[in-house]
């Protein structure tokens, strides 16, 4: 987040950049890698963990989009 400040001045653009940097297709790619490396039994466990991690990622995405925008509006 801090690394994007010198490069992206607009708060809206910074929020989108931050979200895109940390939120990739980790669920799709991660499940494929787990399936290939550890087999089908690990895939079920990884899917259960993913069900708890995805809401956290969504909350962090909202924070990443709102914080830079609020800082821009407040002139910070």
pLDDT tens sequence across 1-41: 577 777 777 777 777 777 777 666 777 788 889 999 998 88
Q: Which residue has the tokens 């690394």?
A: 3
| pLDDT band at residue 57 using 50, 70 and 90 as cut-offs | confident
Structure-block tokens of residue 10: 């607009």
pLDDT of residue 38: 92
17 CB burial (10 A radius; 0-12, 13-18, 19+): middle
pLDDT of residue 53: 86
Q: Counting every residue, how long is the chain?
A: 76
Contact of 65 with 16, CB cutoff 8 Å: yes
Smallest Cα–Cα separation from 15: which of 64, 62, 74?
A: 64
| pLDDT band at residue 65 using 50, 70 and 90 as cut-offs | confident
pLDDT of residue 1: 59
pLDDT of 76 > 60? The answer is no
Contact of 46 with 30, CB cutoff 8 Å: yes
């Amino acid at each position: 987040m801090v690394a994007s400040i010198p490069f992206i001045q607009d708060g809206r653009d910074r929020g989108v950049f931050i979200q895109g940097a940390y939120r990739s297709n980790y669920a799709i790619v991660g499940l494929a890698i787990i399936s290939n490396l550890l087999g089908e039994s690990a895939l079920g466990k990884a899917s259960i963990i993913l069900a708890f991690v995805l809401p956290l990622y969504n909350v962090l995405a909202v924070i990443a989009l709102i914080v830079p925008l609020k800082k821009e509006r407040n002139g910070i």
